[in-house]
């Protein structure tokens, strides 16, 4: 049996009941070709948009800087 290495990733996703962009940083096993294995349990009620290598800092997300048209 092969041992899966753990890889730290940042997953960017939407919940199925919201348009707010979310993220999660964690360690997931990876297969022999380096592809991260994300469990079905984690994927429940989520639409994953990106899996990034390592821990990233998100400075702005869509909708974070919405201003009224008169605020310019």
- Residues 34-72: tens digit of each pLDDT: 899 999 999 999 999 999 999 999 887 776 655 545 555
- Segments making up each domain of the chain, as ranges: 5-58
Instruction: Give the Cα separation of 56 and 9 in Å (integer).
Output: 8
Those residues with Cβ within 8 angstroms of residue 20's Cβ, 6 or more apart along the chain or in another chain: 14, 63
What are the structure tokens assigned to 72, written together? 């310019």
pTM equals 0.78
- Residues 13-32: tens digit of each pLDDT: 999 888 888 999 999 999 99
């Amino acid at each position: 049996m092969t041992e899966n290495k753990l890889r730290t990733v940042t997953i960017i996703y939407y919940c199925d009941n919201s348009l707010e962009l979310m993220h999660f940083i964690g360690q997931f096993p990876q297969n022999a070709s380096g592809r991260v294995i994300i469990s079905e349990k984690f994927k429940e009620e989520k639409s994953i948009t990106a899996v990034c290598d390592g821990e990233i800092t998100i400075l702005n997300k869509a909708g974070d800087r919405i201003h009224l048209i008169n605020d310019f």
